[in-house]
Amino acid sequence: MSAIDSTGALNCISFHSTCWSPAGRRAVPSADGLTGLAHGVKQRRQAARRDDTRTARRPDRIVTTAATPRTILAAADDAAIAVAAAHLAAGDLVAFPTETVYGLGGDATNGRAVAGIYAAKGRPSFNPLIVHLPSAEAAARFAVFDPRAARLAAAFWPGALTLVLPKRNDAGLSDLVTAGLGSVALRVPDHEVARALLQASGRPLAAPSANRSGHVSPTTAAHVAADLDGRIAMILDGGPTAVGLESTILDLTGPVARLLRHGGIDRAALEAVLGAPLDDTPVTDDVAPVAPGLLSSHYAPAARVRLDAAAPRPSEAFLGFGPLPAGVTGPAETLSATFDLTEAAANLFAALRRLDAAGAATIAVAPIPAHGLGEAINDRLRRAAAPREGGG
């Protein structure tokens, strides 16, 4: 187990002899050290809150006391999950892997924890959060399930599907989770670390993607550290995510199921279970969002993104689909050399981050087929290419 200070330098915690860094190998911390830390988290948090000399809250930082001055990074074994659960119980934030992308988790019933999520990400508070739960039975405690929701949950949970449902009056969730709306977005993730953490914490976890708002979503622990080091208590490293795209979001608050966001489960599979076509009317920015990932500019690298490019222009980086074209000399990646959309989806965000790090002002992107997972890939690319605040 280790921590990174504000300069990015790696610092070992005293009970562990080796360190982990995003650029290097991680070392599994000792079970004794982690267990001791788990027992101490709550007590140290309580002491820190009583300390009149604690650090004041700053708007760009949610780590405000000496209890968690640096972000802890640990391989996601049972002992680390116990520490993470203790942090969540104390109102801290923990990043964890799911099958889609890494999530930034906080207790969805704790208004302070949820406010911390918005602060850590720099996320607008009108943008609701997805609540993650260990099972459909647990989800039914927080929302009203009609027959459509029950069928979809049976077919796709655990999995990459988020359902927007009427919130139960006795849900007990922080209003910040739902942005004050009468609906709530729920998901049961299909990842052993995520589900173990949900079970260990015993709490519904509000968990958007673990990155700064609007940035490219994280598919590795190193991506999380690059965006949120020093802003959160802990990162559980479960390796690269399998799906690589966020969940599909369906709104079931009306008579017709509405597809709000393309994601890891494609439209055809959903329509087959529902036995009816989905309403896919585009969501516009002038309407208050009922779920995350709906703003027109989102998932964006620092570089501009140019779509449907057969080849890069001089000085552009290139993101291809299939074998890279001959003559490409600048930074280049292919999402899948074999035109595999599943592979392309899993590689999308990591490839965008690598090309962005190469320093080109623009990333040219090859055409992606608009069927199956290609719909979700194209959705993310369109949002990455959309004009941003400040022009462009």
Each residue of 277-333: pLDDT tens digit?
999 887 765 555 666 655 555 577 999 999 999 999 999 999 999 999 988 999 999
The pLDDT of residue 81:
98
Residue 151 annotated as lining a ligand binding site: no
Residue 100 annotated as lining a ligand binding site: yes
Confidence band for 237, pLDDT divided at 50, 70 and 90? very high
Question: Per-residue pLDDT for 126 more than 60?
Answer: yes
CA 379 to chain centroid, in Å, comes to 16
- Domain spanning 304-385: which CATH class is it, in words? alpha beta
CB 248 within 8 A of CB 264: yes
Instruction: Say which residue, 289 or 266, is predicted with more confidence.
Output: 266
Residue 222 annotated as lining a ligand binding site: no
Residue 215 annotated as lining a ligand binding site: no
The pLDDT of residue 27:
35
| Mean model confidence pLDDT for the chain | 83
Residue 213 annotated as lining a ligand binding site: no
Question: Per-residue pLDDT for 2 more than 60?
Answer: no
Residue 297 annotated as lining a ligand binding site: no
Could you count the other beta carbons within 10 Å of the beta carbon of residue 11?
Answer: 12
Residue 123 annotated as lining a ligand binding site: yes
Interatomic CA distance for residues 334 and 319, integer angstroms: 6
Instruction: Say which residue, 217 or 392, is predicted with more confidence.
Output: 217
Phi, psi angles (nearest 5°) of residue 198: -60, -40
Residue 2 annotated as lining a ligand binding site: no
Instruction: Say which residue, 350 or 9, is predicted with more confidence.
Output: 350
Residue 31 annotated as lining a ligand binding site: no
Each residue of 73-118: pLDDT tens digit?
999 999 999 999 999 999 999 999 999 999 999 999 999 999 999 9
Each residue of 194-226: pLDDT tens digit?
999 999 999 999 999 999 988 999 999 999 999
Q: Whose CA is closest to 319, among 388, 247, 242, 216?
A: 216
CB 95 within 8 A of CB 237: no
Residue 187 annotated as lining a ligand binding site: yes
CATH architecture of 2-129+192-237: Alpha-Beta Complex (3.90)
CB 183 within 8 A of CB 129: no
Residue 39 annotated as lining a ligand binding site: no
Q: Where are the domains of the chain?
A: 2-129+192-237, 304-385
pTM of the model: 0.81
Percent of the residues in the chain that have a pLDDT greater than 70, as a whole number: 77
If you average pLDDT over residues 151-167, what whole number do you get?
Answer: 98
**Beta strand pairing status for 103-107 and 94-96?**
antiparallel
Confidence band for 125, pLDDT divided at 50, 70 and 90? confident
Confidence band for 69, pLDDT divided at 50, 70 and 90? low
Sheet containing 304-306: order of strands:
304-306, 362-365, 317-320, 332-334
Instruction: Say which residue, 70 or 31, is predicted with more confidence.
Output: 70
Tokens (6 digits) for 121: 């990400």
Each residue of 328-347: pLDDT tens digit?
999 999 999 999 999 999 99
Interatomic CA distance for residues 16 and 32, integer angstroms: 10
